[in-house]
Amino acid sequence: MRIHPPFALCCLSLALLPAYATQAGDSAQPDREAATLPAVVVSASKRDAELEQLNGAASVASRWALEDAQVASTQELGRVFPELQMAYSGSQLYPQITLRGVTSAQDFYNPALTVYVDGVPQVPTAALQSLLDAEQVELLKGPQGTLYGKSAQGGVLNIVTRQPDNSAQALLRAGVASHRGHQAQANISGPLVRDLLYGAASLSSQRTSGPLHSDVLGSDLGGSRSRAGRLKLRLAPAAAPWELGLAAARDCMRGQQDVYTPFDAIDARTAYTMPGLPEAWREVRQQRCTNSLTGSGQYQWQDWQLSAIASTQRLHLDARQFPFAMQYSWQPEHWRQNVQELRLATRAGAARRWNGVFGLYRQDVRQQRDYTIDFALPVHSPMLQSHSHNRSETLAAYGDITWRLTPKLDLTGGLRLSRDSARTHFEGHMMGSPVAGQRRTREHTTLGHLAAGYQLSSAWRGYLNLAQGYKPAGYNLAPTSLADAEGFDRERSTSIEAGARYSTDRLRLQLALYRIATRDAQLYGDSQMGTQTLKNVGDTRSSGLELSAQWRASPAWTLAASGFVNQARFRRYSASSCQGCGRNRVPFTPSHGLSLSATGRVPLGQTTLRPQLRLRHTGAHYFDSANALKQKAYTLADAALAWSPSPQLELSLYAHNLTDKRYRSYGFAYGPLGSFAQVAPGRSLGLTVTWAY
């Protein structure tokens, strides 16, 4: 499938021009000057439930919050969700996501938290992607296995894009940033045929500078350039009980990644290279393109709504090549994912004592990968070459029902039955010895969910939540040895949580206590970097406390604070690679975090100023199971000042990492050569200009 966003955007823009002509003067933007906090509806519950009524913890970032924090990609969502650690391991292909002490850690292809766009799961290597016309981003915390199945132990991140309707809207944004960074964005939506057919188109382009340089490899190392586009059509006749939708998207990223510094020398921001590396083996290059096509439909009758989604996604990593130490590596891969879901849910607002959602789900994922490593020093010679095919399939049925026993008390019960299958086939050689394997596995998993909520008063609500999640059995998707055919067993998590919410027009509070026990954690079972094998290494337990508050102090100022403390440790560690690790901290899990922010909207004559300040503190954490590679606690400061000379125009000056704090986002040990780290971005100053209609 080939999608050409610029051409399609021009065509759709011309089609929408009559709508703009007839609706001139209408504003599609909600009033940002409201003195109260807006109501929040969470679609990730698959029932469009109000946030205050959820029997579980969740956070929601509106499109205005995303714009205020200059969030242009999922990688930057930590600015609006301070409890979420969103980074990557060496390359943006491999997300490193941590929430509530549950982490992707070293299993890059099977994250503990899955990213969804309008309810469709994204291929793991496309989890870090551009945000296009996002209406809001929803973060459900803790295991969500009943509704979402596999890879939702830490939670679910659902990106909700704007659905076109009779309201004509447009947005143009352009910006520049330090170190030759820039961004551009265009959104347009509205009626193609009023009260019948609607369309939307979005385009974005972003360049992010890299933090590293090298006399051998060049500059701008670790940076990336992305271009993305999305087209939408929505057929929804006025007063009809049904509607159909079609969405097509393309997201391409290229850059120079997979570069590191010595672990204890990050201040110099100089990429490590082996002395004497021949010029023929110095190229660092990566290029990934993802194409998506999604069809959806829904039909409403009486108190019910039937919804269907069918999606296909193709990802092509045509180039991923880089030198490290004495070696040079090529690792292209290709993904194909097909997803179908049929869902029956009760409609919000219906006068009944119970509400529920029931669904059937299928996901088929196929991956093809080539893995080549050559020695570049002291003389060129082949080391590893493998070619692999992997496939996984999930079939599931689920249901979740909430029963209102009294006007104040409700109970929730859920169940999911899944059948997961996986198979691998690979062949090649390592140093002249054959590396080949072929295996398949199939298993059934049952997950349960119980919750209770009690409305203590009109403002206070408390809840208890027992939930489960899992990652299915499977195989290493980057095979390098015969051991990769052995595979690994299922990983399961069980969470118990108690929480409370306080909600008024001007103040919102959330408090949650949780404990998540994980059995048979899937991590690397050996320590040879580049040839690790995933195994079930043991059990973990994560316990913590979360607290957040949002206060509309006045029509001009909103203050917010959130924080967490967490202890995630191994309860059992059976892999031979790490003796005595049975009580160590789980890697990539900060011990605590704190975020403070102030956002203003100050009238200045006939114009408006919007000052913003955010402080984010992240506690110490480790990058390895042995707890030898440690990142100390650090604090980041972000600031912005936006000026609106008119309701449609805004200029914004911002600074990220204002103090230029230097810290690591990833680290690993590499035998006698020592340890290495990936350096997080430094200070970035920028200016954006936005016109919105």
Q: Nearest to residue 165, comparing CAs of 237, 102, 84, 74?
A: 237
Each residue's pLDDT tens digit, 438-464? 999 999 999 999 999 999 999 999 999
Whether 171 is in a domain gets the answer: yes
| pLDDT > 50? residue 17 | no
The pLDDT of residue 350: 65
In this prediction, residues 139-162 reach a mean pLDDT of: 94
Please indicate, yes or no, if residue 18 is contained in any of the structural domains.
yes
Q: 537-574: per-residue pLDDT in tens?
A: 899 999 999 999 999 999 999 999 999 999 999 999 98
CB atoms within 10 A of CB 264: 10
pLDDT digits (tens, 9 = 90+) for 646-671: 999 999 999 999 999 999 999 999 98
Residue 349 in this model has a pLDDT that exceeds 80: no
In a domain, 81, yes or no: yes
Dist CA 463 CA 454 (whole Å): 6
End-to-end CA distance of the chain: 32
Q: Is residue 34 scored above 60 in pLDDT?
A: no
C-alpha closest to that of 606 among 645, 555, 641: 645
**Cα 139 from chain centroid?**
9
7 pLDDT tier (thresholds 50, 70, 90): very low
Task: Tell me the C-alpha distance between 464 and 461, whole Å.
Answer: 11
Q: In the predicted model, what is the mean pLDDT of the chain?
A: 90
Work out how many domains the chain is built from and give that number.
1
The reported pLDDT for the residue numbered 652 is: 96
Q: Which pLDDT score, from 0 to 100, does residue 106 have? A: 67
Does residue 77 carry a pLDDT above 50?
Answer: yes
Q: What angle do CA 339, 128, 480 make, to 5 degrees?
A: 80
* pLDDT band at 528; cut points 50, 70, 90: low
Is residue 209, in this structure, part of any structural domain at all?
A: yes
**What pLDDT, on the 0 to 100 scale, is given for residue 22?**
38
- 3-state class percentages of the chain: helix first, strand second, coil last, to nearest 5: 10, 60, 30
Joined together, the tokens standing for residue 321 give 């090549």
pLDDT-based confidence at residue 16 (cuts at 50, 70, 90): very low
For residue 589, list its beta bridge partners.
none
Residue 346 reports pLDDT greater than 70: yes
Classify residue 598: in a domain, yes or no.
no
Give the lowest-confidence range in 30-34, 183-187, 243-247, 633-637: 30-34
pTM score: 0.91
Q: Are 68 and 640 in contact (CB under 8 A)?
A: yes
% of the chain beyond a pLDDT of 90: 76
- What pLDDT is stored for residue 606 in this prediction? 87
What pLDDT, on a 0 to 100 scale, did the predictor assign at position 597? 96
Please state whether the peptide bond connecting residue 587 to the residue before it is cis, i.e. omega within 30 degrees of 0: no
The pLDDT tens digits of the residues spanning 471-509 come to 999 998 888 888 888 889 999 999 999 999 999 999 999
Over residues 198-255, the pLDDT tens digits come to 999 999 999 998 889 999 998 889 899 999 999 999 999 999 999 999 999 999 999 9
- Which residues form the domain of 177? 5-24+43-573+607-692
388 vs 333: CA distance, rounded Å: 9
User: Where does 402-533 have alpha helices with state H?
Assistant: none
Non-local CB neighbours of 493 within 8 Å, separated by 6+ positions: 102, 143, 145, 153, 468, 469, 470, 516, 517, 518, 519
* 274: phi then psi, degrees, rounded to nearest 5: -75, 130
211 within domain boundaries: yes
Residue 32: which pLDDT band, with cuts at 50, 70 and 90? low
pLDDT at 262: 96
Residue 299 has pLDDT above 50, yes or no: yes
Above 60 in pLDDT, residue 24?
no
Say what the pLDDT of residue 18 is: 40
Give dist(CA 299, CA 352) in Å, integer: 20
Burial of 215 (0-12, 13-18, 19+ CB in 10 A): exposed
Q: Strand 433-455 and strand 409-430: pairing?
A: antiparallel
DSSP 348-362: TT-S-SEEEEEEEEE
CA 471 to mean position of chain CA atoms? 17
| Angstrom distance (rounded) from CA 675 to CA 569 | 23
Instruction: Judge whether 36 lies within some domain.
Output: no
Note whether residue 479 is domain-resident: yes
pLDDT of residue 483: 82
Task: Answer whether 221's CB lies under 8 Å from 210's CB.
Answer: yes
> pLDDT tier at 53 (50, 70, 90 boundaries)?
confident
Q: What is the pLDDT of residues 356-381, one digit of tens each?
A: 999 999 999 999 999 999 999 999 99
pLDDT at 12 over 70: no
Q: The dihedral of CA 458, 460, 466, 471: what is its sign?
A: positive
d(CA 492, CA 514) in angstroms, rounded, equals 16
Q: How confident is the model at residue 382 (pLDDT cuts 50, 70, 90)?
A: very high
Closest Cα partner for 138 from 57, 31, 32? 57
For position 197, which CATH number holds? Answer: 2.40.170.20
Predicted local confidence at residue 33, as pLDDT: 56
- Per the CB < 8 A criterion, the answer to whether 178 and 686 are in contact is yes
